[in-house]
Structure 1
Amino acid sequence: MEQNHNALTAQTRDWAHWDDTYQFIQDANSDYATSNFSQEMFEDLHDQAMIFISEDQQPMWIAGIDPDTNTYDTCTSATGDCSWAAPLIAEVQPFLGEVEATGLSLSFASPWPALAAIAPILQTDRTGPSRGWLIKLRLIDERLTDLLEEQTGLPVQISTRPAPADTERKMALERGPELLHAAKPLLTHSRGPELVLSTEIPRDRVKRASRNFRYSLAWTAVLLAVLLAVVIGVVLALLYGLVLKPLGQFTRFVTGKQGENSLAQRENLADVPGSLSQHDPLTGLANRRLFDASLQQSLSDEPEKPTSVLMLDIDHFKLYNDRYGHPEGDRCLARVAECMEQTVKPHGFLVARTGGEEFSVLMPETGLEQARTCAEELHKAIAGLKLPHADSPVSDVVTVSAGVASSVNVDNVSGSTLMRSADLALYEAKDQGRNRVACFGEDAANIFG
């Protein structure tokens, strides 16, 4: 749960501490919303909603999927099609004054069991002043409990119940003939109900351990005179492996206390948010935050040398997900990411996943012609994977569209203007029928299919 919360908070900071977001909260630029948000993006990231809160603590833009109807909407207020977001905003508003630059993690039992993260909206270099807040919501659903079961090896259920008096907020342990039932309240920030984590542990494992232990003791008595040292060592090993270790793990789960060995685990977990804040968890590629920082550094370090960027979209990826399902869609994204890394590896370029099905490539000290050649190599290599895409209108395999821009062709060049130029070229490639490469500042004759 903590690892999921850390990941959600890191992703929220990435979005909130971004120059484009900082500009959007001030002028509500429609291009920002159109190019950055879609139902597919929320489904890929397993997120439910993103809510932009203005300085007066009122919602100014909402995008997300209604948990009750599973329909995707965008609105400028929590009314009409986005009225489902109003109860969540009401739960979050009291905490806005407590949010620091690093963000704030919250857990709610109502209006839905959910994890939430809040971060102040700042510029990419984390300077201000803050222009509001960004809220990201992730439901506590079957997908999350399946992940917890995979990590713990135990059946896990997260449910809600009316919040008892403070004196009753204790772990509950029920011993059945076959199972040990354990339930523990989780820290919940919503008013009213609370979240409860429960599990069941088979008692037969403990019983088998006890039988084995008694059997070992009987043999110890017989062989004590001959093999005293050996038998004692075996018994101690069995005692630890079959009894003490499982019972110790169970005790730590129920009481929430950690032994000395957990200090190293906590130190390792402390490194997770830093890694998550710079890399995409699905593909392992750099994420938008690392890409933007690297682009800015490339432009600043040697402004006299050309810097090129490439934006690439998988063609008709929503149709792919609709036909093959989201797990297969995730595998498709991972295969495309691996192919891109292998293709540009000889050049030392940075590949990043900057959206749901959107990837970007940073090419320092690279002019437009060389960047165009790299884009065409990627276009050909991805098609060469021959990933089936039966519903694509442009091909029977997965294809991509790409837009290329170079600093030598962009006026008043900056990270934002260079990426915007690549985005315009990508739009041109899509407008010309997709499955091709387009370069910013050149006419349609320089679009390569």
Structure 2
Amino acid sequence: MKRALNSLRYRFFLALGVVLLMALLALGVIAKVLVIPALLAKEEEYASQELDRAERAINNELKHLSLLNNDWAVWDDSYDFMQGKSPDYLETNLAEGLVFKDANLRLIAFFNPDGSPYWLAGINPGSGEYTSCSSLSDACQWTRQTVQALSTRIQNDTTQTRQTWLQASPERALVSLNPVLRSDGSGPIVGWMAMVRSMNESWFARLEESTGLPLKVRAVRDLTTAWFGTTIERIDEKSMLATRGIAALPQGYHLRLQATLPRQGFKASLETFRFALYWTIGLIIVVVSVVLILLERMILSPLRQFAAFTQQVQSGKAEEPPSALLRRRDEIGTLAREFQQLLELQRRQTSSLVELSHHDPLTGLANRRLFDQTLEETLQQAHLHSQPMGLLMVDIDSFKNYNDHFGHPAGDACLKAIADAMQRHFLRPNQLVARTGGEEFSIVLPGSSEAVCARLAESLRQAIEALGLPHPASEVSPVVTVSVGVACSAPEQPRSPQELVDAADAALYAAKQAGRNQVSMEGEQATA
């Protein structure tokens, strides 16, 4: 059994079986993560469009009410009535409340310019009787809340233009408010006329007939704005409840528009996807089966022959590959002839990768890995032979400002120029210049005392300053400069690599604190 599992043939079969299972799993994941959410999103878009249509229908009702109110308010008869010049106005136009039934109105209210009630007429929702009053008397008490809200709005309004809005309290209604003017639209304004259309059963019946949607509108007292979006509650596989908040008055209320919608589109799309999914699964199984057969005939069988040949070569029973393999002109036919060359190529590539892994691609200097390795080896040699060694840590002054001023391409060019200057400056064997940070460099100086290190550090600082690379954004100099921290390991006081790095870093920090463009020895005052 173990030998069979080690066979390439069975491993291929197993791998393709795993691929088949993964493909089936991927299809399931795609269905759950992509397809189903996409179908649900499309369903949500459909629900939003239907609510948009319902909301447009409500807005059309508001426009119709506004036009009706405007026809009555901008009329010479109404204008005369507000001035007490048309005593038969009510009898002629509002008698017995016929206009309320014809126009599906709950209330018509006339107001003086200051917002006080002038005349009120409407259908009492409690008794269903027509009432007409000159004030909020007992017969018109049912209008009190609406009339007071309208009075307040007139008193607070400065635009003196017609307005429409949805009302959530004391009852759900559409409201239109219009200044009373002459028929030609001239003034002055002698008062206001308001029409209120209740969202009653007959109104909903007409709205459902025009939209084809079963709609509900509920008044909700809610001070937040969380409900002014579209939400969907999927009741079952056949229907869903779409809800949207609509702005309404008074403040602190809104209307919640709800529509029960069918889910046939989602169901049909889901069935279509499942049908396509089953066909895809069947096709994948057929393709994998064909691939397995072709794999056996074209690859696995020849490879088993080649494996048998290599075993025979090891045992000394064969010297030439089978003639069937020699006649092949594909990859398997060239495998034996190219094997050694491929190994040699692999060795060369590995060597190149090792080289790349030790050097910074921008400057060509040693990178942090090679620096750490070299520093440890150099310290070991210095301790072994009782020799001093030094470490310089170099940081370009205000390099971030340089990048911000000139841009990163110019910053890269600056790094290259400074790296080239460092390489020209340190040419002795075993000296190593490395880029160990963005604008930070480290230099290993074997066999160098503190005095030599200080002299080399100052010489390097002057050489970089002498490059004259313009740096108008520098806080130190008009040209690019560096700060250098110097630390040494002496035979009488050897240090570990980390101790030496920490000492050089502390010295570099001291050079920066002292004003930059300076060399600082560990434990000493920085010098420019």
Which TM-score bucket, shorter chain as reference?
0.3 to 0.5
Q: TM-score, normalised by structure 1?
A: 0.46
Larger Rg: 2
Greater relative contact order (Cα 8 A, min sep 6): structure 1 or 2?
A: 1
- Give the TM-score normalised by structure 2: 0.39
